[in-house]
Amino acid sequence: MFVGSRTKKSRRRLRLPPAAMGVFAVLAIGIAAMAQVKDAAPAAGTQPAAAAPAAPAVKAADQPDPSLWELHNKGGKVMWALDLCSILALAIIFERFFSLRRSRVLPTGFMAGLKAVYRDPVEDREKAINYCKANESAMSRMVVAFIRRLPRGFASAEKALEDAGGNEALRLRANLRVFYAIGSVATLLGLIGTIAGMIKAFMQTAKAGDAENKVQLLSEGIYEAMVCTFGGLAVAILVTSFYYYFIGRIESLITQINDELTSFAEEYGLAPETEDELATTGSLPRL
């Protein structure tokens, strides 16, 4: 195998970030607190009061649903940080889609054209190198490394091919570590926004007088906190989905490259015994 697959098996397992569990725990605490406040409402209502009738409240059904932008603003400053994570994630997604195209890694017809040019491993060596440079790709760079070292022997050429394959594997996986980190950071930002919203809700609830207002204030605070939860998880789900898609795409390309290079090395490297012939004659036999 000339292009190493350094992706750990554990990364292929879809894991729920620990921060997501923290979000659920905070929300559970808030919901439990709201239930306790609701239970306290009847007790507060048993006290006689001769207050004047309040103005009729607007029915919830008559209130328009908030727009996405209004929901975004409800999340506070944390949502702007999540916006930045989204922009970075989208930039990496577009960059990876462009870089992992087959035409940039393993162009169709490249090997057929190379074999048409590289018929003699000695006489056509420069022609093959110029052909690879004219058709720049991950495959062409690896083939150039192999051809340049082939006069030193098959073992040396194979080692150069493996080294070039390691470099190309790193190029294929470029930005994926940052991409994965964005998903984790987005989940943590959602957790911070959720906790900040819950703190704000409890502070407002503590200042409220009667129980009915406490229920309303607490429910509004949880509603705002859940906006941050939604934003953080939305970014994390997007990033995680594309991360595993790109990992699968890279593994597929690496498999195709290894198949092509194995066939090429066997055909033009022939076998280790050709090294002895090269040492004695100064050239390899015509293929």
3-state secondary structure 119-165: CCCCCCHHHHHHHHHHCCCHHHHHHHHHHHHHHHCHHHHHHHHHHHH
Quote the DSSP letter at residue 237. Answer: H
Q: Tell me which residue has tokens 């239970």.
A: 39
pTM of the predicted model, to two decimals? 0.70
CB 238 within 8 A of CB 199: no
d(Cα 262, Cα 71) in Å, to the nearest integer? 55
d(Cα 271, Cα 156) in Å, to the nearest integer? 12
Quote the DSSP letter at residue 9. Answer: G
Q: What is the predicted pLDDT for the residue at 22?
A: 52
d(Cα 218, Cα 211) in Å, to the nearest integer? 10
d(Cα 269, Cα 257) in Å, to the nearest integer? 17
Burial 180-209 (b: 16+ CB within 10 A, else e): bebbebbbbbbbbbbbbbbebbbebbeeee
CB 1 within 8 A of CB 258: yes
In single-letter form, the type of residue at position 28 comes to A
Per-residue pLDDT of the chain (287 residues; tens, 9 = 90+): 666 654 444 444 445 455 555 555 555 555 555 555 455 544 444 444 444 444 444 444 566 777 777 777 777 888 899 999 999 999 999 999 999 998 889 898 898 898 888 888 778 889 989 999 999 898 999 989 888 888 888 788 888 888 888 888 889 998 899 999 999 999 999 999 888 888 888 887 877 766 667 777 777 778 778 888 999 999 999 999 999 999 999 999 988 888 888 887 777 654 444 444 444 444 333 32
d(Cα 261, Cα 112) in Å, to the nearest integer? 13
